[in-house]
Amino acid sequence: MIAKSTTGSSFRGLANYLEGEQKIAFKEAHNLAGDHKDHYVRMMEDTASMSKAEQPVYHVSLSYSPEDIPSKKMMLEDGHQALQKLGLEDHQAVFVAHGDTDHKHLHMMINRVNPDSGKAWNTFGDHYKLRGIAKELEQQRDYQKTRLLNPDRDFELTNGEYHQIKENGLENMPLKAKAEFYELDTVFDQATSWEELRGELSEIGLQVKRKGRGGVLLEVATGQTLKLSRIDSDLGRNQSLGRLEKRLGNRKEFEQLLEAHKALKNHLPDKEVRQAFGRIAREQFGSGSIRKSSMKALGKTLSASINIGKTIKGLTHLANSSNPMRGVAKMGLALAKKVTRDLNQDRGLGR
């Protein structure tokens, strides 16, 4: 058995995929009023709105070996056991089994947001948990032990790589083997944004870096690198920075945004102010221009800020140092000072 997971932002988008024509073998709703797509999508969206989580959609798939022929009852029991082991049994979920391949597989669309507490479940380390769940189900059900075999691609690590992992642990495996073990081809293919891909890779200590005219996979702890072209795609082609940029957007702009958000977090104490500046930064790095409505919204946020003095201090630092937000910080600083003058005048303290 292979257990995989991804996160996303659209319940409807995933539901449309799961309920695509000629795919469904069966489906079941869990902690929901029914299994009609429009109804359960709205319910899950309403629950997700209780949290500020940007990616409330959690997608888990259980893929069985072609030799295994579990019944509907067994597959649903496996799904519920996975939910329980992950600590998600109180969350909303939809189980959908597909019958469009030579091996059975069960998809679970799960709401990360708990309907009672409104808090989002933390996905950290879920890949390790899912591998443990798959191993436990193999033992309990006497399913085919897939070890490191991926039934989608008929891939298996060499004996040498397998024994090296067994002796030295996952942390010390060769980077190419690590990419295969964590099925990074699927992670790359299913990512819908650089932010999503970055989050998935960071869980196992990896990053995508630009090198020369292409890109590499970097293991942060060891400095090992692997050309992206050596990561085969489930879509029938090798990965490359160019192909990823066509799908996910300009990598350089994303890196600038990361630096911008880091600078904002270090120097602006007010979360709402940081978010307003973050929106402006995305506009600047994206289209190269900033909408008047965004500046107007920033002005309102600054007016409501209780830390306007600290905000001005932080913006002054950003405006006078080398960072991606320097230009935006200068505009923001001028606006913050104007807001302060206006507030002082309203209070009868204007000079």
**Which burial class, exposed, middle or buried, applies to 187 when counting CB atoms under 10 A from its CB (0-12, 13-18, 19+)?**
buried
Give whole-number Cα distances, 290 to 160, 268, 296, 302, in Å: 55, 20, 11, 17
Cα atoms in the 13 Å half-sphere on the side-chain side of 213: 0
Q: Is residue 191 helix, strand or coil?
A: coil
pTM (2 decimals)? Answer: 0.47
Q: Is the distance from CB of 272 to CB of 244 less than 8 angstroms? A: no
Section 304-332 average pLDDT: 84
Residue 152: predicted pLDDT: 39
Residue 153: predicted pLDDT: 40
Residue type, 33: A
How far is 131 from 134, CA to CA, in rounded Å? 5
Residue type, 88: L
Give whole-number Cα distances, 195 to 7, 174, 175, 255, 318, in Å: 11, 25, 22, 10, 24
pLDDT in tens, 154-181: 344 455 555 555 555 555 677 887 787 7
- Residue in 213, 220, 258, 204 with CA at minimum distance from that of residue 240: 213
pLDDT in tens, 228-268: 988 865 444 568 899 899 888 888 878 877 887 787 888 88
Q: pLDDT-based confidence at 71, cuts 50/70/90?
A: very high
* Lowest-confidence pick of 12-26, 180-194, 329-343: 180-194
Q: Determine the distance from the C-alpha atom of residue 179 to the mean position of all C-alpha atoms in its chain, rounded to a whole number.
A: 18
Q: Is the distance from CB of 254 to CB of 194 less than 8 angstroms? A: yes
Section 82-93 average pLDDT: 96
Domains of the chain, with CATH numbers?
A: 1-150 (3.30.930.30), 157-249 (no CATH), 252-346 (no CATH)
Within 8 A by CB and 6+ apart from 32, the residues are 39, 40, 43, 44, 92, 93, 94
DSSP state letter for 36: -
Residue 287: predicted pLDDT: 59
Mean pLDDT of the chain: 83
